[in-house]
């Protein structure tokens, strides 16, 4: 999921910012991005789960695939 990769990048930026002197506005911007990305991930995950729940055949397929991880 691309949002997770974006969140990881923001986490890395925040970690790096903790080791150097960055303006407060930069830290706030990173924090805002982290919050927004976490919310997007949560919303998308819920929408996917709801979609799967509304489609019994898809739900069976997801359960089948989950039983055989790659």
Q: Are 41 and 2 in contact (CB under 8 A)?
A: no
Taking only the tens place, the pLDDT of each residue in 14-26 is: 999 988 889 999 9
CA gap 54, 60 in Å, rounded: 11
What's the distance, Cα to Cα, between the start and end of the chain in Å? 16
Model confidence at 1, in pLDDT bands (50, 70, 90)? Answer: low
* Token duo for residue 57: 């055949």
pLDDT of residue 69: 78
* DSSP tag of 69: -
By residue count, the chain amounts to 70
């Amino acid at each position: 999921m691309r949002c997770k990769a974006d969140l990881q990048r923001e986490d890395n930026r925040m970690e790096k910012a903790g080791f150097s002197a960055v303006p407060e506005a930069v830290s706030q911007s990173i924090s805002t991005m982290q919050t927004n990305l976490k919310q997007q991930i949560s919303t998308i995950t819920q929408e996917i789960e709801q979609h799967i729940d509304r489609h019994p055949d898809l739900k069976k397929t997801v359960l089948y695939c989950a039983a055989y991880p790659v």
